[in-house]
Amino acid sequence: MVARKSLKGDYCPSARSLDVIGDWWSLLIVRNAFDGLTRFGEFQKSLGIAKNILTERLRTLVASGILELVPTSEGGSRMEYRLTAMGKDLFPVMVALRQFGERHLFAPAEEHSMLVDRATGQPVQLDIRAQDGRPIGPDETVILKVTEEK
Amino acid sequence: MVARKSLKGDYCPSARSLDVIGDWWSLLIVRNAFDGLTRFGEFQKSLGIAKNILTERLRTLVASGILELVPTSEGGSRMEYRLTAMGKDLFPVMVALRQFGERHLFAPAEEHSMLVDRATGQPVQLDIRAQDGRPIGPDETVILKVTEEK
DNA sequence: ATTTTTTGGTTTAATAATGAAACCGTCAAC
DNA sequence: GTTGACGGTTTCATTATTAAACCAAAAAAT
């Protein structure tokens, strides 16, 4: 190997995102953060991740601005990991992953957790629309390449 | 190590999704598939992935129903990898990742590729809404846990 | 028809990432 | 002031990824 290739220079925004959160554990940590977990031990226990790996992942997530390390709300000198505004912007990614899983990765009768509107208890919806509000799928879209001037 | 832990049994749909496409390369392959790539060589060249790893990832993606191996459209006896309907259902995930990258991972003046409506050339939008159509964020939602009966 | 090239891999050996377990300093509770 | 939990760090073994060499079959060129 020669160090895993970084996609930092890629012009594709998805690639850059994957460069930051595309490894095995990061999104699982973020998911649990959305779920309310904040402490090292909580993440470690809930994921069964090795502690040294968790340490490194948390550090990277903090370094890239997705999590922040703040003094614990109960006054002690301990710290806790919280989603930043940027981190919360990963919400659509989590919802999209959830939706895909619900549709394709569960047996018909199999139960799974659900993401619902806190106010009404109704499930939330994700949709992709054109500017005019019309729902749009992959076949009706194109990726516009940036043409590089010399 | 003792074999990487599988999340297959997890009740959380996001976790299951990550179990299938959460590794380093799979989503990049899928992104390129959305971008129109179909051949082994195309993926290999565009990603710079080691060939044996690509072989394995493609096999897994086919096995999980995201890609399928079909005779190439130009009649020859060669094969090409195409997104299945299930694979195309990853579209929202790709769009969400793209949106996150656009917002947070590019310098203000930096150029990036764009996903647009083929018909109008206008950028597509992704949004998450409550049943009543009101846009909804992570703080207004709860993950409803499945309670397991004994 | 024969040679050459491209395609789509497989194999092998080296290197990097990950994991489990042991260890350790600090803080909090008792 | 001792004990245990918390949040790591270190070490070592194992697994994953890579680059490079190799190879058979199909396509293209001659």
Which residues of chain A form beta strands (DSSP E)?
67-71, 79-83, 114-117, 125-129, 141-144
DSSP states of A117-144 as a string? ETTT-PBPEEEEE-TTS-B--GGGEEEE
Q: Dump pLDDT digits (tens) for B11-70.
A: 899 999 999 999 989 999 999 999 999 999 999 999 999 999 999 999 999 999 999 999
* Pairing between β-strand B79-83 and β-strand A141-144 as defined by DSSP bridges: unpaired
Which residues of B2-140 form beta strands (DSSP E)?
67-71, 79-83, 114-117, 125-129
Give the bases of strand D that a protein CB approaches within 7 Å: 5-11, 13-21, 26-28
**pLDDT surpassing 80 at residue A31:** yes
Structure confidence at residue B19 (pLDDT): 93
CB of residue B5 closer than 7 A to nucleic acid strand C?
Answer: yes
Structure confidence at residue A7 (pLDDT): 74
Q: How far is the CA of A3 from the C1' of C15 (A)?
A: 9
- CB contact under 8 Å between B13 and A125, yes or no, is no
Please check whether residue A10 is in contact with residue B111, taking contact to mean a CB–CB distance below 8 angstroms: no
d(CA B71, CA B82): 10
Closest residue by C-alpha to C1' distance, nucleotide D15: B1
Written as six digits, the tokens of B52 are: 């044996």
Report the gap between the CA of B75 and the closest CA in chain A (Å). Answer: 23
- CB contact under 8 Å between B127 and A127, yes or no, is yes
Query: Does residue A23 or residue B7 have the better pLDDT?
Result: A23
Q: Dump pLDDT digits (tens) for B87-143.
A: 999 999 999 999 999 999 999 989 899 999 999 999 999 999 999 999 999 999 998
Written as six digits, the tokens of B59 are: 């096999």
Our measurement of the distance from residue B146's CA atom to the centroid of its chain's CA atoms, rounded to an integer in Å, reads 26
CB atoms near residue A36 (< 10 Å): 9
- CB contact under 8 Å between A127 and B122, yes or no, is no
**pLDDT surpassing 70 at residue A75:** no
Written as six digits, the tokens of B8 are: 């297959």
- To which residue do tokens 């080691």 refer? B50
Q: Of A118, A126, A121, A137, nearest to A100 (Cα)?
A: A126
Interface test with A, best of B2, B97, B117, B147 (most A CBs within 10 A): B97
CA dihedral B130, B133, B135, B141 (to 10 degrees): -10
* Pairing between β-strand A114-117 and β-strand A67-71 as defined by DSSP bridges: unpaired
Q: Dump pLDDT digits (tens) for B50-61.
A: 999 999 999 999
Q: How far is the CA of B46 from the C1' of C8 (A)?
A: 15
Please check whether residue B4 is in contact with residue A24, taking contact to mean a CB–CB distance below 8 angstroms: yes
